[in-house]
Amino acid sequence: MTKVYLRPRPLADSEQGDEVVEYVVEDRGIRVVNASKHFKNFTGILSMTNSEAYTQAISPLVPAMLAGSTSCCFAYGHTNSGKTHTIFGYGDELGMCQRLLQDLFEQSDGGLLMQVRFYELYNSKVFDLLNNRQPGFVRQDGDGTIHVRSTTTMGPNGEVLTQSLHAGYADSANAVIDIIRKGKSIRAEGTSELHHQSSRSHAVLELEIVTPALAQSRQEVALAQARVVPLGKARDDLYIAIQSQLYTFVNGKHTLSGVQPTQEDQDNLNKLQAQVDTAEAEVTAKKERVIAEKAKYPGGMFVLVDLAGAEYMGEGLARTPQERKEAREINSSLLALKECIRAQSQDHVAATTLSAWVLAEEDLAVVEQSFLLRRTEVTEHNAHRPEEKQIAALDITVHDTVGLQMTNAKCDLHENPAYILFVSRCEVASVQMLLEVSVICMFKYEHKNLSIC
């Protein structure tokens, strides 16, 4: 089931006295006064306060997370529409993540251990916000699963370790919030046309309920996988050396050399293969233990994503080359997200579009999805082109799986900032969301039809 909420943003201090949009709440939607514009098929209208918005949209998913489900919530929309304020709060006002953590620990039976991963996608690169912004990498394994990995490190016995991003652990809401605060302090920020502290990256916060045994089991999997790598390399190097002796290159052709591998080489190859088999069997056993530990305590996961704001790309805007690059990267990645959501709504994702990052490892099995569409007031402060001071007419159709269709929309989002807060709940223990980096700007103002799903 898909839900769509509308949430007006109050005027900022710098906008006081500007013209605002008047609207009337009607059945499952709103009507814009004096404009004959309708926003249809909304589940409800959210309060301007984070506490009431949380109670209506996020709080109902807490019991499901405690029971083992996975939820995802992301804020999407234009710069200065209040996405970061909603997810992380501002000043004394708590955001969705702080309120979620307080609810989780209050509603649990005690002894809750929270695993936290926090990273950002900035200019198509991943940075770990819990490890001093160390770069991460996107990798796809042999099974087709995409992983966000940390930089390669050395283990206690000289093993080459390639594992997930740094994880923090805490057993109280305040301790988790402190971890998040430290990560948020090093997130990339910059200046946009509307905001001097604008988020210039997509921030991903993963909150997972774990046990000490589960955390230890996952670490053991990483160590076991690290032991496979050097053994596999040694085996492959020896195999290539043996094969290179069997052939010779003469007159542009490979022909048999007549040389046979020595018994010693063959014995060494067999020995290395046996060691690889043993190491891979150990990895399998460690993974099975992870599954067993997860089954003992089916804690869920909640992923919160604060996307960077869609940027104005009009001519004449004062920007540095770096700011223009950031704007292009932001808009192109948001377009890619739109395409991934569109593909998921059709029960498939084209292989050619999967080139960015994933929030977790399991297949997407969404049971409930909620979209919150937030639209700020149109003000003189936000209007760059007086001749385009018109309210977008949005006909919104809610799809059964994933979708929010906006048709007949005059693309004046540069003056009508909006964002979507997407909430999904899964019956599996993790959720997969794909973001592909593209090079096409998200909004082309001359288009008469704009699809964002």
State the binding site.
77-84
How far apart are alpha carbons 371 and 386 in whole angstroms? 31
Q: What's the N-to-C CA distance of the chain in angstroms?
A: 15
Residue 439: φ, ψ to 5°: -125, 15
Half-sphere exposure of 345 (CA within 13 A, CB side): 19
User: How many whole angstroms from its chain centre is CA 200?
Assistant: 15
Residue found under tokens 């704001």 = 309
Q: What is the identity of the amino acid at 427?
A: E
Half-sphere exposure of 68 (CA within 13 A, CB side): 9
> Do the bridges between strand 93-94 and strand 202-210 make them parallel or antiparallel, or are there none, so unpaired?
unpaired
- Nearest Cα residue to 338 out of 431, 415, 424, 441: 441
Residue 102: φ, ψ to 5°: -60, -40
State the binding site for ATP.
77-84
How far apart are alpha carbons 54 and 59 in whole angstroms? 6
- CA–CA distances in Å: residue 211 to residues 20, 33, 115, 292, 297: 50, 53, 9, 12, 7
Residue found under tokens 């990273």 = 119
